[in-house]
């Protein structure tokens, strides 16, 4: 039974549901042809996409949008080229639909197989991230799913162009354009329609601020795969390589501070704090990073401001970082357990016993030894792109690629058997 939703939005959801059945019948080759058409269209329409994106950026700046969100919103020719290449990479990935998870022949001769199948219709609600429009649509198409998008008012002009281009690409190969659709025209009511679209949308994936994700989790009658904010930690153990630590921390904070896998808190072992902190802080401050430190950090680092309780649990998404000094691995683990959002944590260490303990005890979707937290990413993991980074434990956890956009069903083949 489908909960009543806004009539116009309901019609779009019904269209997506019908399109999902056409995708289920479509061959992998046809879906790959659609992906090739999307990649080509992005490349050839880059000026049009940039122009629409400029409208969104100008509106965002006029409304006081934070710099971090503006960076997420921005589409440059280089970023569009990267999106086109990501679609091409997704097209080249192994086909997930029909993959046999396990199979057996029973003593009575029945052949039983568990195979991967599309969800059907995937819904995505996200904010100010037009690149997500392409990533999710491409992954959904490759995995045989229709997709319904709510990309938010901040990116409305960008998303309108992107969705239109993708629908034209679908039509060019004979697939229904409703396989990729958006409810942005309905504003917040469109998002409400998606959350109440049980029976029309099979799974809903929110990406964005903690408040957006919490709203979707609390209000949706559609099953939700929860992606989470990233209060990401790096712990510098007393045996860490100093040169590596400086480079890793700088990369994790500065390369792209507005994303969820950027480090937000750095913890340093007290035994090496006097040696490590000045070097790390100098490199960060030279790149414009504001350091929010505990008492020990503020005593060592000139220009650091005192960290509050709020800082330790904050996802800055900006050139800010909280830094603290801890007495031991135990204390670092306690701090992470208290403030982590279970996204990504890293340890920098030369002690492999400490590394293994960190890997076992830290309860996050991605746990890293001696590398930047920026590697928690579907593209970096070889998925081509990602739908999001799940911080929950059911169905999917961590960067979600093609297999995470499928369910399974059991196929049983017999020759007249009946149950005794």
Q: Does CATH place domain 7-225+400-413 in 3.40.605.10?
A: yes
Q: Is the pLDDT score of 3 beyond 60?
A: no
Q: Is the pLDDT score of 111 beyond 80?
A: yes
Indicate the average pLDDT of the chain.
Answer: 95
Query: Per-residue pLDDT tens for 16-47?
Result: 999 999 999 999 999 999 999 999 999 999 99
What pLDDT sits at residue 258?
Answer: 86
- What's phi and psi for 100, nearest 5 deg? -85, 115
Q: Which tops the pLDDT comparison, 66 or 271? A: 271
Mean pLDDT score, 316-333: 97
Same fold for the pair 7-225+400-413 and 232-375: no
Mean pLDDT score, 157-175: 98
Query: Per-residue pLDDT tens for 327-382?
Result: 999 999 999 999 999 999 999 999 999 999 999 999 999 999 999 999 999 889 98
Estimate to the nearest angstrom the gap between the alpha carbon of 391 and the chain centroid: 10
Residue ranges per domain, the chain? 7-225+400-413, 232-375
> If 0-12 CB within 10 Å is exposed, 13-18 middle and 19+ buried, where does residue 317 land?
buried
DSSP-assigned states of every residue in 336-401:
HHHH--SSEEEEE-S-HHHHHHHHHH--SSEEEESS-GGG-STTTTTSSS-S-EE-SSSS--EE--
pLDDT above 90 covers a percentage of the chain that reads: 88
Q: Is the pLDDT score of 5 beyond 70?
A: no
What pLDDT sits at residue 2?
Answer: 44
Lowest mean pLDDT among 1-5, 102-106, 111-115, 269-273: 1-5
Pick the CATH number of 232-375 from 3.10.180.10, 3.40.309.10, 3.20.20.70, 3.40.50.970: 3.40.309.10
How do beta strands 121-126 and 146-150 pair?
Answer: parallel
Lowest mean pLDDT among 27-36, 145-154, 220-229: 220-229
- Please count the residues of the chain: 420
Q: Tokens standing for 160?
A: 């309108």
* pLDDT level of residue 6 (50, 70, 90 thresholds): confident
Mean pLDDT score, 380-389: 86
What pLDDT sits at residue 4?
Answer: 56
């Amino acid at each position: 039974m489908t909960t009543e939703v806004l009539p116009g939005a309901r019609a779009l959801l019904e269209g997506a549901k019908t399109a999902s059945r056409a995708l289920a019948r479509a061959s992998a080759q046809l879906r790959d042809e659609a992906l090739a058409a999307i990649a080509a269209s992005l490349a050839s329409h880059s000026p049009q996409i940039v122009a629409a994106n400029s409208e969104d950026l100008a509106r965002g700046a006029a409304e006081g949008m934070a710099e971090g969100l503006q960076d997420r919103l921005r589409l440059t020719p280089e970023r569009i080229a990267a999106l086109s290449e990501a679609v091409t990479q997704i097209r080249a990935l192994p086909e997930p639909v029909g993959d046999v998870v396990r199979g057996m022949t029973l003593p009575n001769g029945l052949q039983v197989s568990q195979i991967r199948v599309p969800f059907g219709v995937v819904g995505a609600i996200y904010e100010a991230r037009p690149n997500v429009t392409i990533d999710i649509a491409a992954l959904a198409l490759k995995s045989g799913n229709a997709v319904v998008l709510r990309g938010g008012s901040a990116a409305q002009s960008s998303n309108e162009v992107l969705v239109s281009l993708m629908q034209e690409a679908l039509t060019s190969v004979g697939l229904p354009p409703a396989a990729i659709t958006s409810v942005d025209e309905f504003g917040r009511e469109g998002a409400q329609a998606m959350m109440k679209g049980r029976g029309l949308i099979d799974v809903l994936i929110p990406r964005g601020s903690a408040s957006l994700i919490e709203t979707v989790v609390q209000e949706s009658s559609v099953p939700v795969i929860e992606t989470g904010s990233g209060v990401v930690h790096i712990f510098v153990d007393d045996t860490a390589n100093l040169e590596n630590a400086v480079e890793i921390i700088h990369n994790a904070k500065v390369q792209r501070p507005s994303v969820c896998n950027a480090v937000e808190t750095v913890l340093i072992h007290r035994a090496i704090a006097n040696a490590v902190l000045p070097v790390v802080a100098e490199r960060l401050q030279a790149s414009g990073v504001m350091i929010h430190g505990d008492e020990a950090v503020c005593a060592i680092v000139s220009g650091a401001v005192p960290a509050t309780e709020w800082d330790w649990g904050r996802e800055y998404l900006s050139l800010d970082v909280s830094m603290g000094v801890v007495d031991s691995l135990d204390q670092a683990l306690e701090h992470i357990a208290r403030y982590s959002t279970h996204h990504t944590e890293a340890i920098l260490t030369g002690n492999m016993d400490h590394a293994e303990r960190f890997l076992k005890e830290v309860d996050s979707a991605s746990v890293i030894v001696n590398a930047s937290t920026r590697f928690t990413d579907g593209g970096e993991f070889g998925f081509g792109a990602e739908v999001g980074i799940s911080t929950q434990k059911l169905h999917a956890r961590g960067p979600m690629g093609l297999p995470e956009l499928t369910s399974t069903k059991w196929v049983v083949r017999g020759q007249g058997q009946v149950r005794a």
